[in-house]
């Protein structure tokens, strides 16, 4: 590893028509970190002139710490491609991501680097995100911010494929990309983000690829503010009742990925099958409430099954379920 790579953190900030004040807040939270050496790459994913101009101005004012790069031809290729482009043009030993509408808490980078240096076998570290609803100021109608802590109330090192099984089963928080730090080598070896996932579930695709092969660590430390606003991809998917379709696509992709890469982990196949069973093929119109009730009932049945049915019998049944889903997808 060259001297300019060792201990350097490369921060990748993808943006697409992000509000200028959001972008400036995000970059300010990076530059105020008490960690060096640091490099920041603002990746323009085909934004209109206003957002691109603001990013170039920020880069120029930073005197070399911040770089502005853009997709070839100014195309919009999605969050996965933008993050991969940023990493490909960075040099740091460690890589962190910050979405352009989120911000970091002070000390985030120094604390995460210290953790990774103390655990050389761990590829990625993550903690808690504050879901940030009150960024526009308090009012009686503004929800308060909250910090999900599912599966992250104490420091845990998760050996492969434990992290993947845990988040598929809903037993641990799925980290916001703005929260994680990953070593460069495992990022490259695992293939980074999948370009075919341009928005929804692109983070879980990456976490699955990494977590199937490498150790991860979660600590009960709050590191970012995850801004909740109606123009985010997640919010728009919920409004359009399209989130289930995206989840099924991710689960079917993951099953195929495990098959092609000969992932010998029955617990992962079982988790995929159960997640698909809980994920109806349609979530539109008047059946939404019925779907929610059915999903609740299915979760209850799974808890009963795991208490009463031996593991070998469970996995034999659920692995057949994955094969059936994949056959249906191929047809």
Average pLDDT over all residues of the chain: 88
Token reading at 101: 């509408």
**What per-residue confidence (pLDDT) applies to 317?**
84
**What per-residue confidence (pLDDT) applies to 199?**
82
How many whole angstroms from its chain centre is CA 240? 21
Q: In whole angstroms, how far apart are CA 74 and each of 16, 44, 158, 231, 247?
A: 11, 8, 39, 22, 29
Contact in structure between 15 and 45 (CB atoms under 8 Å): yes
d(CA 99, CA 108): 15
Q: Which residues pair with 181 in a beta bridge?
A: 96, 125
Q: Tell me the pTM.
A: 0.86
Counting other chains too, the contacts that 208-211 makes at CB distance below 8 Å and 24 or more residues apart are 208/164, 208/254, 208/257, 209/257, 210/123, 210/124, 210/182, 210/186, 211/124, 211/158, 211/160, 211/161, 211/162, 211/163, 211/164
d(CA 22, CA 29): 11
pLDDT tens digit string along 110-125? Answer: 999 999 999 999 999 9
Residues in the chain: 331
pLDDT tens digit string along 33-49? Answer: 999 999 999 999 999 88
d(CA 60, CA 283): 47
How many whole angstroms from its chain centre is CA 89? 21
Domains parsed from the chain with CATH numbers:
9-233 (3.90.550.10), 240-330 (no CATH)
pLDDT greater than 50 at residue 311: yes
Question: Who wins on pLDDT, 313 or 285?
Answer: 313
pLDDT greater than 50 at residue 109: yes
Q: Could you say which DSSP state residue 72 is in?
A: G
What percent of the chain lies above the pLDDT cut of 70?
84
| Poorest-pLDDT segment among 23-32, 46-55, 277-286, 295-304 | 277-286
pLDDT greater than 60 at residue 316: yes
**What per-residue confidence (pLDDT) applies to 285?**
45
**What per-residue confidence (pLDDT) applies to 239?**
47
pLDDT greater than 80 at residue 230: no
Q: Beta strand 156-158 with 215-227: parallel, antiparallel or unpaired?
A: antiparallel
pLDDT tens digit string along 153-195? Answer: 999 999 999 999 999 999 999 999 999 999 999 999 999 999 9
Torsion sign across C-alpha atoms 52, 54, 59, 63: positive
Q: Could you say which DSSP state residue 32 is in?
A: T
Tell me the mean pLDDT in the region 194-211.
Answer: 96
Q: Could you say which DSSP state residue 285 is in?
A: G
pLDDT tens digit string along 73-91? Answer: 999 999 999 999 999 999 9
Q: What is the CA radius of gyration of the chain?
A: 20
Token reading at 69: 């790069």
Question: Which contiguous run of DSSP H or E holds residue 81?
Answer: helix 79-88
Q: Which is nearest to 104 in space by CA: 187, 180, 185, 186? A: 180
Read off φ and ψ for residue 94, nearest 5 degrees.
-115, 145
**What per-residue confidence (pLDDT) applies to 202?**
96
**What per-residue confidence (pLDDT) applies to 138?**
53
pLDDT tens digit string along 261-299? Answer: 999 999 999 999 999 999 877 544 444 555 666 777 888
If DSSP codes are grouped into helix, strand and coil, which group holds residue 7? coil
């Amino acid at each position: 590893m060259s001297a300019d790579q060792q201990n350097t953190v490369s921060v990748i900030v993808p943006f697409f028509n992000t509000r200028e004040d959001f972008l400036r807040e995000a970059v300010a939270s990076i530059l105020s970190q008490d960690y060096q050496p640091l490099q920041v790459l603002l990746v323009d994913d085909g934004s209109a002139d206003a957002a691109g101009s603001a990013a170039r101005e920020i880069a120029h004012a930073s005197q070399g710490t911040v770089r502005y790069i853009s997709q070839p031809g100014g195309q919009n290729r999605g969050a996965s491609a933008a993050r991969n482009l940023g990493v490909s043009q960075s040099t740091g030993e460690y890589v962190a991501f910050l979405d352009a509408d989120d911000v970091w808490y002070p000390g985030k980078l120094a604390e995460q680097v210290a953790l990774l240096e103390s655990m050389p076998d761990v590829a990625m570290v993550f903690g808690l995100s504050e879901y940030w609803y009150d960024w526009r100021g308090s009012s009686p109608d503004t929800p308060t911010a909250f910090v999900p802590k599912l599966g992250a109330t104490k420091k845990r090192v998760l050996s492969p494929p434990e992290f993947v099984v845990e988040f598929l089963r809903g037993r641990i928080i799925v980290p916001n990309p703005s929260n994680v730090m990953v070593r460069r080598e495992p990022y490259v070896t695992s293939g980074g983000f999948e370009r075919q996932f341009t928005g929804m579930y692109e983070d879980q695709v990456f976490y699955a690829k990494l977590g199937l092969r490498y150790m991860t660590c979660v600590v009960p430390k709050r590191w970012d503010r995850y801004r909740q606003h109606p123009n985010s991809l997640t919010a728009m998917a919920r409004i359009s009742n399209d989130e289930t379709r995206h989840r099924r696509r991710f689960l079917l992709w993951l099953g195929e990925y495990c098959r092609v890469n000969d992932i010998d982990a029955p617990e992962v196949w079982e988790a995929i099958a159960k997640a698909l069973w809980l994920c109806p093929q349609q979530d539109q119109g008047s059946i939404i409430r019925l779907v929610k009730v059915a999903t609740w009932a299915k979760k209850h049945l799974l808890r009963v099954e795991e208490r009463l049915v031996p593991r070998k019998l469970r996995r034999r049944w659920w692995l057949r379920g994955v094969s059936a889903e994949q056959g249906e997808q191929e047809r």
